Structure 1
Amino acid sequence: MTFVVTEQCIRCKFTDCVDVCPVDCFHEGPNFLVIDPEVCIDCALCVPECPVDAIFEESELPEEFVDFIEINAELATRWPEISSTKDPLADADEWADKPDKRQFLVLDAEQV
């Protein structure tokens, strides 16, 4: 199994999880992070570091986030690896607790 970043990360992009990852499995998009399932070693170190509780073990994903398994796998092949902490998005705190953010996912820099 792998770990999966879900919609709570959208428009926040806190990177606390990145710093603890021993294998650099995170990839960074314009307003979201994903985990590369081919690189993740299932260590779970990232889960408690996420301030918005966006990371789940694949087998424990809530039903409404199951499609994020494929989203993470696909975007990890397109987005660059991130291996160190960066500042979150400027309005991350405003978006941290908002539900239903899927429509705000930006897939490439041209959409910003």
Structure 2
Amino acid sequence: MAYVIAQPCVEVKDKACIDECPVDCIYEGPRMLYIHPDECVDCGACEPVCPVEAIFYEDDLPEQWSAFGPANAEVFETVGSPGGASATGPLGSDHPVVEGAPVLSV
């Protein structure tokens, strides 16, 4: 299990969660941020600092954003587990679910 970033983050990318993450497992894509499921230690530090309430424990992900659970994992299939976002820089592309997602009004 891991935390997941969902629809409300699309085009927001506040990055307060990155500052709070003790294991550097939150990666930046072109339209939103992603939590690497193999690197996340389930500490929950990222969740309360998200200004748009886009971070959920995987089991608590709202049904309307259920596609974002697999998307957070699948975006890393080609990247692997680099062991920290700060060393790798931004991801080159978003997951197709994110590429097609509308921007929510906040």
Instruction: Name the TM-score, length of structure 1 as normaliser.
Output: 0.69
* 1:1-112 to 2 correspondences below 5 Å: 1-78=1-78, 82-83=85-86, 102-103=101-102
Q: Distance in 2 between matches of 1:75 and 1:51?
A: 23
In structure 1, the gaps of 5 or more residues are 84-100, 105-112
User: Amino acid of the residue matched to residue 59 of structure 1?
Assistant: D
How far has the Cα of 1:103 moved from its partner?
3.8
Runs of 4+ in 1 over 3 A off after TM superposition: 76-83
C-alpha separation in 2, matches of 1:78 and 1:51: 29
Q: Is the 8 A contact 1:18 1:82 kept in 2?
A: no
> Is the partner of 2:74 in helix, strand or coil?
helix
Pairs aligned (count): 87
Q: Distance in 2 between matches of 1:23 and 1:102?
A: 28
Alignment root-mean-square deviation, CA: 2.0
State the identity %.
44
